[in-house]
Structure 1
């Protein structure tokens, strides 16, 4: 089969590499890539992520009366399934619902871009992260047309190539997604068993601790020492943070691993965060994202229990 008319040396080298290392047919890879197109709006979007905002501006995007109420409704519609999977995996139901709420507004906004176009654009026209996106484009081809809900040239997702209600990248699908309904495909668009189990499994595989705390608000003493933090990993302890002037506002094991997160809202907020907060950040590295998921989850849990005012 003759090779399609592709002239970009980066694309040609990519297809040749997939043929050599992964056993794919070079001409078929090139034929698919020939149909991809560069989208300037994707390059514009990745240059201004929401996570660059301050907490006071970021929080209202994801924590509103409408999103809380919609989360309660979504949970009610799928409660038996979500509770069963939550019990099996040890990830709270409200956390799973909040992820779907933050990522896609409960499926209302799963993305308007062809995944192929998104990954092609970022793999070959966004130098700051081109190695990462080439890896994701490679994984998309390795998943192929048989393992997902749609052929790869028909998949729709975010500007970064994330897919389905839980917004999984191709590598996340290959590594952590679950075919929970057992139909031979991973359908993160239409199969709620696959969607919910995939999110729960993602958390478990990244170290979620069943029945363990996520975060607790802290009261800062006037003489508290600054806490320098370069990671969300809990490398200190509650006891150490208390000694430094940060007292938890709820009972928590003094020996539990923790670190401090300070957010600038209308007022400065200090939070003691634990391993499970760090696990949420494996979904999105921004601490603002993790806090939004946590606070939305708690509001949904209160609403589902009938405790919301």
Structure 2
């Protein structure tokens, strides 16, 4: 199929989507040049059987609901609205219960990886509400929809689809069964397939890296993700700071990686924590509140959290939730 016909087919699918209720709009994977290229890659590079792949993809559905969801990420909200999604009584209490239910695995994880239990718990809490919301779409549908029916980042999602089929084969999973998010993220920690292949851990040594139902595997997989991204054990993560005047705005740069020193921020009339040496590398970040903004210093470990999700809003939500869970855990009665 030539490029013009391929584009017309995509327009037709979207036009049909506009006429029908969102949940009802589904279509088979179209026989486009990009899909044929994908099949060729799986066959020639990875040894898949073309007939079996085509039979499998005949059962895959392109879904308009997925296309709608991908353009409305929570990270587009201002901080004061984004924070309200995660800093709830239910999520804090749920984090304490998850800690109590998985005390042994969390203790073993901390000993092996050096990542605080509350940080791993907060990641799982933010990502899937401790496993309550791991996604309502088949992973293969989500990745095929975003890889073949949407132009933006299609190469990324096609690569994730490739990785998903590889992990399904290696883990002996039926690729049509695993469920995940609209973006194809999976399990308690909501790993993308590439992250699963790189970081998932069989922590209980049962021969499977089960991040869907095995809390121990999920816990260790998150910790392994952080360690592999250079987590510094025992080091601080972030600090709120105050300022005098407006000179601080000179230090507000794009990105999340530490790019200035504590000493430089002090020169801009920012009150920094006394425990931080003047030479410490930090990142000044501004978070929008309803009536102004909050300033925070992100350190190296804050940057590591953003390797999980590149949004500073995400990293601060994880950090604040982790602190709330840890504080609540101190006064929580022991489980019966």
SS in 2 for 1:128: coil
| Separation (CA, whole Å) in 2 of partners of 1:177 and 1:44 | 29
The correspondence for 1:169, drawn from 182, 187, 192, is 192
> C-alpha offsets along residues 271-304 of structure 1, whole Å, 9 cap, x if unaligned?
0111111110111111110000000000000001
Give the conservation status (yes or no) of the 8 Å contact 1:39–1:117: yes
> C-alpha offsets along residues 230-252 of structure 1, whole Å, 9 cap, x if unaligned?
21011211222122222224522
> C-alpha offsets along residues 96-131 of structure 1, whole Å, 9 cap, x if unaligned?
000010001111100010001000000001111100
The 1:235/1:58 distance shift into structure 2, 3 A limit, reads same
1:300 aligns with 2:325: yes
Bigger-Rg structure (1/2): 2
Residue 265 of structure 1 and its aligned partner are, at CA, apart by: 1.1
> 1:97 maps to what in 2?
121
Give the conservation status (yes or no) of the 8 Å contact 1:6–1:34: no
Q: How does 1:248-267 map to 2 (within 5 A)?
A: 248-249=272-273, 251-266=275-290, 267=292
> 2:95 maps to what in 1?
71
| Separation (CA, whole Å) in 2 of partners of 1:22 and 1:253 | 51
1:120 aligns with 2:144: yes
RMSD of aligned residue pairs (Cα, Å):
1.7
The correspondence for 1:194, drawn from 208, 217, 232, is 217
Q: What are the ranges of 5 or more consecutive residues in structure 2 without an aligned counterpart?
A: 1-28
Aligned residues between the structures:
303
Q: How does 1:1-309 map to 2 (within 5 A)?
A: 7-147=31-171, 150-226=173-249, 227-249=251-273, 251-266=275-290, 267-306=292-331
| Separation (CA, whole Å) in 1 of partners of 2:41 and 2:102 | 43
Give the conservation status (yes or no) of the 8 Å contact 2:135–2:181: yes
Q: What are the ranges of 5 or more consecutive residues in structure 1 without an aligned counterpart?
A: none
Give the conservation status (yes or no) of the 8 Å contact 2:248–2:265: no
Give the conservation status (yes or no) of the 8 Å contact 1:216–1:273: yes
| Separation (CA, whole Å) in 2 of partners of 1:58 and 1:178 | 30
Residue 228 of structure 1 and its aligned partner are, at CA, apart by: 3.4
| Separation (CA, whole Å) in 2 of partners of 1:32 and 1:44 | 25
| Separation (CA, whole Å) in 2 of partners of 1:247 and 1:207 | 28
Residue 6 of structure 1 and its aligned partner are, at CA, apart by: 6.7
Residue 216 of structure 1 and its aligned partner are, at CA, apart by: 0.4
| Separation (CA, whole Å) in 1 of partners of 2:274 and 2:320 | 16
| Separation (CA, whole Å) in 2 of partners of 1:259 and 1:290 | 13
The 1:161/1:250 distance shift into structure 2, 3 A limit, reads farther
Deviates more, 1:57-66 or 1:13-22: 13-22
